[in-house]
Amino acid sequence: MLGAAEIRQLAEKLDIRPTKKLGQNFVIDPNTINRIISASHIDQDDTVVEIGPGLGSLTLGIFSKTDRVIAVEVDPKLASELPETIAKHLPEAHLELVVADAMQVKTLPLEPTALVANLPYNISVPVLLHFLEMFPTIKKGLVMVQAEVAHRLAAKPGGKEYGSPSVKLAWYGPARLAGNVGRNVFWPAPNVDSALVYFETGTYRTAEKSEVFAVIDAAFAQRRKTLRQALAGWAGSASNAEQILVTAGISPQARGEQLVIDEFISIAEAK
């Protein structure tokens, strides 16, 4: 794996100055890479997609577990150097490189079974949900994100952290926190703490996802209001919302933060 000195040398070679716009904070601590790989539960049977490989430190860690890795990188400078870095450390490894904006990726050269990534903080939730939607073969994953976002993704009903990201990730399957990450393992050090989220997918759903997500969005757009009021726009009126909620077996006086994913599905199906 890459140490701090080699990462800085690579950045200098490429004349790269990490930018907030691209969410570039490179992990310079091999122990943190080992933690991520261990917490991801990937093995030799997995085909892993990594979003935002950067200079390749985590990519090398993934290769320690499997020889099928797809890396999606938006920065052409970083993408141009990545195959050479992998070849230098692991001459036998074969990397599938996709140079693209992850939010625009709809096909990959292999079918991924796992996702492992240090996600850019500015697009972490949208890009994670995009990949889970586009690639249903993904059955598990481990992402490192801003700590606040991690707690939202893994939150359970009833707390202030529970919201739209929590429920939308739960649509695909269960998620949990998998550890905290300090700021000093990055270069440059971010102004926020980070955390790991492990998730599994494959939960079978018969409902229409777009309709369920519309209910979730409406419920949390006005989370302080009762569902009767919060869902009025989605249902056409507050009285319609109340009728739908009663049919679904949900109290019209409940709030979105109290409901689990299955209850949101029941609401969508009752419309």
pTM here?
A: 0.91
Domain with 249, as residue range(s), is 209-270
pLDDT for res 82: 95
For the four alpha carbons of 178, 184, 186 and 191, in that order, the dihedral sign comes to positive
Say yes or no: 213 and 114 in one domain: no
Instruction: State the Cα–Cα distance between residues 254 and 249, nearest whole angstrom.
Output: 11
Q: Do residues 140 and 224 share a domain?
A: no
Number of structural domains (the chain) is 2
> What pLDDT was estimated at residue 23?
54
Closest CA to 47 of 61, 35, 63: 63
One domain, residues 151 and 174? yes
Ordered per-residue pLDDT tens for the chain, 271 residues: 676 677 677 767 777 765 555 456 788 899 999 999 999 999 999 999 999 998 999 999 999 999 999 999 999 999 999 999 999 999 999 999 999 999 999 999 999 999 999 998 889 999 999 999 999 999 999 999 999 999 999 999 998 999 999 999 999 999 999 999 999 888 777 788 999 999 999 888 999 999 999 999 999 999 999 999 999 999 999 999 999 999 999 999 999 999 999 999 999 999 9
Same domain, 160 and 256: no
- Do 213 and 187 share a structural domain? no
CATH of the domain at 235: 1.10.8.100
User: Integer distance in angstroms from the first to the last C-alpha of the chain?
Assistant: 53
Q: Where a domain ends, among 200, 224, 242?
A: 200
Residues 157 and 40 in one domain: yes
Rounded CA separation 56/117 (Å)? 11
Q: Checking DSSP bridges between strand 140-146 and strand 26-27, what pairing results, if any?
A: unpaired
* 47-68: b (≥16 Cβ within 10 Å) or e: bbbbbbbbbbbbbbbbbebbeb
229 and 161 assigned to the same domain:
no
**Domain harbouring 163, CATH code:** 3.40.50.150
Residue 186 · residue 25 · CB < 8 Å: yes
What distance in Å separates the CA atoms of residue 157 and residue 173, rounded to the nearest whole number? 15
How, if at all, do strands 48-51 and 194-200 pair?
unpaired
As a whole number of angstroms, the distance between CA 257 and CA 216 comes to 10
Q: Are 179 and 244 within one domain? A: no
Q: What is the C-alpha separation between 180 and 261, in angstroms, rounded?
A: 26
Considering the domain architecture, whether residues 123 and 226 belong to the same structural domain is answered as no
For residue 263, the tally of other CB atoms under 10 A from its CB is: 20
Query: Which ranges of the chain would DSSP assign to H, the alpha helix?
Result: 4-13, 30-40, 57-63, 76-89, 124-134, 147-153, 164-172, 209-221, 227-230, 232-235, 238-248, 261-270
- Answer yes or no: do 258 and 150 share one domain: no
